[in-house]
Amino acid sequence: MQTRVKLRKSETFWEVNLVAPERKPPTFDFQVFSELGEALDEIESAVERCEEGSPRCVFIKSSSDRCFCAGANIDILNTLSEKTMADWVATGHQALSRLEDLPIPVVASVRGYALGGGLELALACDLIVCDRTAKLGLTEANIGFVPGWGGSYRLPRRVGASRAKRMFYSAEIVEADSALSIGLVDEVVDGSELTGWLEGFSKSASSKSVVGIRGFKSILNEQDRASREASLLAETEYSLKCIKNADTKRRIREFLEKRKS
């Protein structure tokens, strides 16, 4: 059983849901990225047509109350090598850059853990709103990796370079209120109010100028595009260095053995 991507449509917003197997956290593998790509195809096509019923904003959600997304599927770690790493990193880069570049507002709705690639997924959204169970962190240093899906570019733009370094060096997991205080998330609400917040945001955004919102987002994204692409290339380069490293291989092996026990 693996995570699936389900697209749910309503009058003003569409939801991209990561649906995990029972009692498992949502994770990414190549199939999940493929399904996310198909959802983005449909969203992009609908937005381009700008017809009645086209989404005015997109929400990224999880079926799990305990985990928004835990990053890479454990089975992927078993297959990563010098030959496969570049393709794996590029696949994540492509998907999250497409998500970030959607010309409408994109909001991550976070409950529970958003770790590693899961936080990178949230960071690719325009806004991050979470409930009080949220715990967020780039924890790749625990197993010997750099952020592989744009975290090195997006995290410091939210919290500043010094705080991003501190978080990554210590693999710090930040709870909801602390995340709000440092700018990592944009809103913290009680769990029962999360759906209402999203619906309220969608109602507000859908009443505003489509061309104005698209133009503003495009201007902001274009300002940093060259920097983003340079950071993604550097992530690929350093991911390859990591996978060749003996300490990384040891950490992966110990992590997999711990998960089996």
Task: State the Cα–Cα distance between residues 114 and 28, nearest whole angstrom.
Answer: 12
Structure tokens at 190: 């009680």
Q: Where are the alpha helices (DSSP H) in the chain?
A: 30-49, 74-79, 85-100, 117-123, 151-159, 161-170, 176-181, 194-206, 210-244, 246-260
Residues 59 and 99 sit within 8 Å (Cβ to Cβ): no
To the query of whether residue 82 is one of the catalytic residues in this protein, the response is no
Residues 111 and 66 sit within 8 Å (Cβ to Cβ): yes
Task: State the Cα–Cα distance between residues 217 and 219, nearest whole angstrom.
Answer: 5
DSSP state string for 19-63: EPPTTS---B-HHHHHHHHHHHHHHHHHHHHT-TT--SEEEEEES
Candidate list 140, 175, 193, 235, residue with the active-site label: 140
Task: State the Cα–Cα distance between residues 3 and 29, nearest whole angstrom.
Answer: 8
| Residue type at 52 in one-letter notation | E
To the query of whether residue 140 is one of the catalytic residues in this protein, the response is yes
Strand partners, 189: 131
| Residue type at 140 in one-letter notation | E
Candidate list 120, 175, 193, 254, residue with the active-site label: 120
Task: State the Cα–Cα distance between residues 53 and 184, nearest whole angstrom.
Answer: 32
For the annotated catalytic residues, the residue numbers are 120, 140
